[in-house]
């Protein structure tokens, strides 16, 4: 492997960097297929920005949401397998609410649907958090239960039917434009920036990482892991709810068996591509953003090239496995170097 | 030893035999509080049968009970594999997806004219391959078990979707279907027959083999020791690395076998087969009294757990008032209740015997 022999700082940068390189390469492939791929134009009728790059950004919005939530959860040493199912729950709740209200133009109803969907997913996310922090269940078990029960819940909410509704303001969330820019992209960017600022400009991010590195030690240092875990899983739930609203509002239909299906794969992949170790203890919002953009670009490329998209999940899974191996290799070489240097931190390496 | 005493029905020998048995039971009871969840699951199973019989009727009869076994043979098989994994303190999230891949690949190969028995071997072998893959990732790349098996789950499910996204049908005359032949053992009135299929026999053999390996071999002892404390097991010189690899290989292989049994019975394979079966298997194991943190549990308990889940499905179908979609919610709820029960019991046990489970005892004091 070429990863050995370079310093750890370079490696971290390189993995972050590799995601961007992959995006550029994918875009180049598309440009080779159609030189006009990157062209951006302004729709003369309404002044909206259109083009393939805009499409990619719009498709990336839901993935961005769950990837950011996942990176926080992963940093605590946990995992949230329920993001895809919480997306479908949010979709089901909002569609049923809009359908029941029957008002196709009221902005208040749209806000109500949005609020209700986010409240429900926040509650379910917090339930994950309670199971993890108070009950002490392993994260993957509690979120696995939520992943399967959540989809069951969505089916119960919609009576097992794919539910459609019409409401212009709600649709605008995913399909509208402000000053020529797609609303969904602006919203996603705003949410990501807000989370990044809150987490990195306060001690919250450090505390999350401390819990992920060593929960006991973090408690000794005066952090309350319980409340923190509860918050993190709650945030992940809300972000998954936003992603679900984005995903359903663009088509104004919730497909109970397909909406958000296996999107936890995309979220985990985005986190891993961003250079965050699944072992926990650190996170990079920027890395997860790069990861989410890469996944959206990959999906778009596959459609654009006309390759059968049925192979994508297997390919993504293979990439996750390879990146896990690389991370492990990295941990090992780090470990080896440190031991060679005779420093007494070898125990840390084992624990991590 | 006790077996020589039991047949003697007369005289003091029988009484002392019973007394000794009662003494042994009491001692086992005191020594093994961990058996409480297993007992609880047996009681729950019995209560469910009685409740079902009283409320809906036609539960305690040959065909319902034998169908319970026939329809859950695959779940019993993967639950045995999951027991091994959970006993070491690991987890295997890939079983459902491995079953999907193995059955889709198997049916497609069979339809392409391959020899059915070669196909069966390949189906089981593909399960083994995924299991070994997870084991290698965990053991040599230091990936956490749930991440490694999660990656395998995505990979297997993705490969199954790559092969086909539509239901693949096994021909009616395929030899693989013979594994689901229904042999009548007792010919009851009308359709009330006691039935057994080769699939059920396979499941019973697997349970017996699992019981033997776990309780009567060194490998089994090592499995328990790793779950108790991996570090201690390694310091004792036990073959930790090899055993952990074995455990995931066993789980994968049994998933492949379960896929054969299931496909033979249903005759259809699809890429969405087995979604959520990993949760069913974990729930079966946990209901059966195996600690989710590893180190203690019984493979026979997992069988009871699998049957509890199967019976729950039967009762839900009979009731008709509960949506089938809600089944996963109920399964999840049951799993949580049993995990809570385990927490309470292990916390009490730890109070006497010191720290044995990697949990957080001091924190429970903080509100």
Looking at residue A229, its pLDDT comes to 93
Token output for A342 = 């005779």
CB-CB contact of A227 with A124 (8 Å)? no
ipTM given for this complex: 0.81
Strands B194-196 and B183-186, bridge-based pairing: antiparallel
Looking at residue B200, its pLDDT comes to 94
Token output for A344 = 């007494």
The strand ranges marked E within A220-281 are: 253-254
A89-118 b/e (C-beta count within 10 Å ≥ 16 → b): bbbbbbbbbbeebeeeebeebbebbbebbb
At residue A21, does pLDDT exceed 90? no
Nearest-10 Cα torsion for B343, B349, B352, B356: -70
Top-confidence range, A232-241, A342-351, B169-178:
A232-241
Q: Do A310 and B326 touch (CB under 8 A)?
A: no
At residue B360, does pLDDT exceed 60? no
* A334 contact B CB<8A: no
d(CA A321, CA A327): 10
Looking at residue B256, its pLDDT comes to 96
At residue A341, does pLDDT exceed 70? no
Question: Within 13 Å and on the Cβ side, how many CA atoms surround A308?
Answer: 10
The secondary structure of B178-221 as a DSSP string is: GGG--EEEE--STT--EEE-HHHHHHHHHHHHHHHHHHHSHHHH
Lowest mean pLDDT segment, chosen from B274-288, B311-325, B338-352? B338-352
Lowest mean pLDDT segment, chosen from A114-123, A305-314, B325-334, B339-348? B339-348
B363: which DSSP letter?
A: G
At residue B140 the predicted structure's pLDDT band, cuts being 50, 70 and 90, is confident
CB-CB contact of B114 with B320 (8 Å)? no
Those of residues 181-240 in A touching chain B at CB distance below 8 A are 215-216, 219, 225
d(CA A240, CA A91): 10
d(CA B121, CA B113): 15
At residue A112 the predicted structure's pLDDT band, cuts being 50, 70 and 90, is very high
CB-CB contact of B152 with B163 (8 Å)? no
- The 10s digit of each residue's pLDDT in B237-285 is 999 999 999 999 999 999 999 999 999 999 999 988 888 899 999 999 9
Q: Do A152 and B343 touch (CB under 8 A)?
A: no
d(CA B163, CA A132): 37
B45 burial class (0-12, 13-18, 19+ CB within 10 angstroms)?
Answer: middle
Q: Do A160 and B147 touch (CB under 8 A)?
A: no
State the smallest CA–CA distance between residue A133 and chain B in angstroms: 10
Stated pTM of the model: 0.83
Name every residue whose Cβ is closer than 8 Å to that of residue B18 and which is 6 or more positions away in sequence. Answer: none
Q: Do B147 and A313 touch (CB under 8 A)?
A: no
Ordered by where they begin, the domains of chain A are: 8-339 (1.10.3470)
At residue B302, does pLDDT exceed 60? yes
State the smallest CA–CA distance between residue B208 and chain A in angstroms: 28
Ordered by where they begin, the domains of chain B are: 35-346 (1.10.3470)
């Amino acid at each position: 492997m070429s990863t050995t022999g370079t310093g750890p700082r370079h490696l971290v940068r390189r993995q972050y960097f590799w995601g961007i390189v992959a995006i550029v390469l994918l875009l180049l492939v598309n440009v080779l297929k159609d030189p006009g791929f990157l062209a951006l134009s302004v729709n003369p009728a309404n002044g909206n920005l259109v083009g393939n790059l805009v499409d990619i950004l719009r498709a990336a919005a839901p993935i961005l949401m769950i990837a950011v939530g996942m990176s926080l959860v992963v940093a605590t040493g946990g995992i949230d397998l329920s993001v895809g199912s919480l997306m479908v729950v949010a979709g089901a709740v909002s569609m049923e609410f809009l359908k029941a209200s029957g008002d196709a133009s009221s902005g208040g109803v749209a806000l109500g649907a949005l609020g209700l969907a986010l409240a429900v997913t926040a509650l379910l996310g917090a339930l994950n958090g309670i199971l993890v922090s108070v009950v002490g269940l392993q994260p993957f078990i509690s979120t696995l239960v939520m992943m399967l029960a959540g989809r069951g819940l969505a089916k119960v909410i919609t009576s097992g039917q794919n539910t459609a509704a019409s409401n212009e303001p709600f649709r605008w969330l995913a399909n509208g434009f402000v000053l020529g820019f797609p609303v969904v992209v602006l919203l996603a960017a705003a949410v990501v920036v807000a989370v990044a600022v809150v987490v990195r400009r306060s001690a919250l991010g450090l505390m999350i990482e401390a819990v992920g590195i060593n929960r006991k030690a973090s408690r000794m240092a005066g952090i309350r892991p319980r409340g923190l875990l509860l918050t993190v899983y709650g945030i992940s739930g809300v972000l998954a709810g936003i992603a679900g609203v984005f995903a359903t509002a663009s088509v104004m239909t919730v497909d109970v068996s397909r909406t958000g299906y296996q999107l936890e794969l995309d979220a985990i992949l985005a986190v891993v591509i961003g250079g965050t170790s699944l072992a926990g203890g650190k996170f990079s919002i920027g890395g997860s953003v790069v990861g989410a953009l890469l996944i959206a670009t990959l999906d778009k490329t596959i459609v654009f090239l006309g390759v059968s998209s049925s192979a994508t999940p297997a390919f993504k899974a293979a990439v996750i496995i390879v990146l896990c191996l690389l991370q492990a290799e990295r941990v090992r070489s780090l470990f080896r170097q440190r031991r060679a240097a005779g420093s007494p931190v070898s125990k840390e390496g084992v624990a991590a | 030893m006790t077996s020589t005493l039991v047949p003697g029905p007369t005289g003091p020998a029988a009484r002392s035999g019973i007394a000794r048995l009662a003494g042994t039971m009491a001692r086992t009871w005191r020594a093994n509080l961990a058996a409480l969840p297993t007992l609880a699951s047996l009681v729950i199973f019995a209560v469910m049968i009685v409740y079902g019989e009283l409320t809906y009727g036609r539960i305690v009869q040959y065909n319902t009970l034998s169908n319970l076994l026939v329809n859950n043979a695959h779940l019993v098989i993967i639950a045995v594999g999951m027991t091994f994994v959970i006993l070491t303190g690991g987890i295997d999230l890939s079983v459902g997806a491995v079953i999907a891949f193995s059955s889709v690949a198997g049916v497609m190969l069979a339809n392409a004219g391959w020899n059915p028995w070669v196909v069966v071997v390949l189906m089981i072998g593909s399960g083994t391959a995924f299991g070994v893959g997870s084991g290698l990732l965990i053991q040599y790349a230091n990936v956490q078990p749930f991440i490694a098996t999660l990656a395998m789950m995505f990979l297997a499910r993705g490969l199954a979707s790559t092969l086909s996204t539509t239901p693949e049908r096994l021909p009616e005359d395929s030899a693989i279907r013979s594994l689901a032949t229904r042999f009548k053992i007792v010919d009851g009135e009308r359709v009330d027959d006691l039935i057994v299929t080769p699939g059920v026999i396979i499941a019973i053999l697997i349970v017996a083999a699992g019981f033997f390996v776990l309780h009567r071999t060194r490998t089994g002892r090592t499995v328990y020791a790793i779950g108790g404390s991996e570090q201690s097991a390694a310091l004792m010189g036990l073959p930790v690395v090899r055993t952990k690899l074995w455990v995931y290989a066993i789980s994968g292989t049994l998933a492949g076998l379960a896929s054969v049994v299931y496909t033979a019975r249903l005759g259809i394979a699809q890429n969405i087969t087995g979604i959520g079966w990993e949760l069913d298997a974990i729930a079966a194991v946990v209901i059966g009294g195996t600690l989710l943190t590893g180190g203690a549990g019984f493979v026979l308990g997992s069988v009871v757990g699998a049957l509890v889940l199967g019976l729950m499905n039967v009762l839900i179908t009979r009731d008709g008032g509960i949506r089938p979609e809600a089944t996963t919610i109920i399964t999840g709820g049951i799993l949580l209740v049993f995990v809570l029960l385990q927490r309470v019991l292990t916390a009490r046990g730890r109070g006497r015997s010191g720290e044995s489970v990697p949990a957080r005892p001091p924190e429970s004091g903080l509100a």
